[in-house]
Amino acid sequence: MTSQTDLAALLCSRLCHDMLSPVGALSNGLELLSDETDEEMRARCIELLEQSAKISTDKLKFFRLAFGAAGGFGDNVPVEEAQEVIAALASDAKRVELNWAIASSSLPKPAVKVMLNLAQIALDALVRGGTLDIGAERHEGNIEIVARATAERIAFDEVIGHALQGELDADEITSRTAAAHMIALLAGEMGGGLQYALSDGALVLGAVLPEPEGMIG
């Protein structure tokens, strides 16, 4: 079994990998701006800097809520907070239509972490754009979550799917599968589970999580 230290290191590697591109673009943009004298080109550099800064901020907000202790000190997180960070990532990805079907105004923190990570995995599969549908509902003492990506082309490594279902050995967990492995552990600790289904043009990721004691109803 992957130790907590190993998992933390892999998640940090994932964060660094995802942040490298926008932060690197900021560095390059500042270097170009310092040498550029043409006003039109300077305006273009500033525009690119603003875009890179937004992407960096959006990613950090996502990581803070999906992996960290964000969301306040209570047991629940407002759904609106999760929607905002996912919508920002979808906007940065371009050509992604985002649809929601969530009745509850708040969800338990573990459920929000699962939803965010499933949404990120589904979003990563939409390499050429498409539709991302996210739903969550309470049903018979469980919280059921689904993230569905649909497009002409779906790019999904089924190793991530195996990680979601807890089917990977410890030495098979990498920075690419660490997030999926983390929420698989989280779902298992709650007494629930994750699953995925991949077909032509569609990727469906799902979770069934028992409602934490004291929150049912």
Which domains are present in the chain?
4-210 (3.30.565.10)
Residue with the two structure tokens 């991530």: 160
Task: Give the Cα separation of 165 and 208 in Å (integer).
Answer: 12
Nearest to 204 by CA among 100, 125, 105: 125
Residue 5 neighbours by CB under 8 Å, 6+ apart: none
pLDDT tens track of the chain, all 217 residues? 567 777 788 888 887 888 888 888 888 888 877 877 778 888 888 888 888 888 888 889 998 899 876 544 458 899 999 999 999 989 877 789 999 999 899 999 999 999 999 999 999 999 999 999 999 999 889 999 999 999 999 999 999 999 999 998 878 888 889 999 999 999 999 999 999 999 989 999 999 999 986 554 4
pTM: 0.85
The reported pLDDT for the residue numbered 5 is: 72
Torsion of CA 113, 69, 8, 27, to 10 degrees: 100
- Amino acid 79 reads V
CB 26 within 8 A of CB 56: yes
The reported pLDDT for the residue numbered 113 is: 94
The reported pLDDT for the residue numbered 48 is: 84
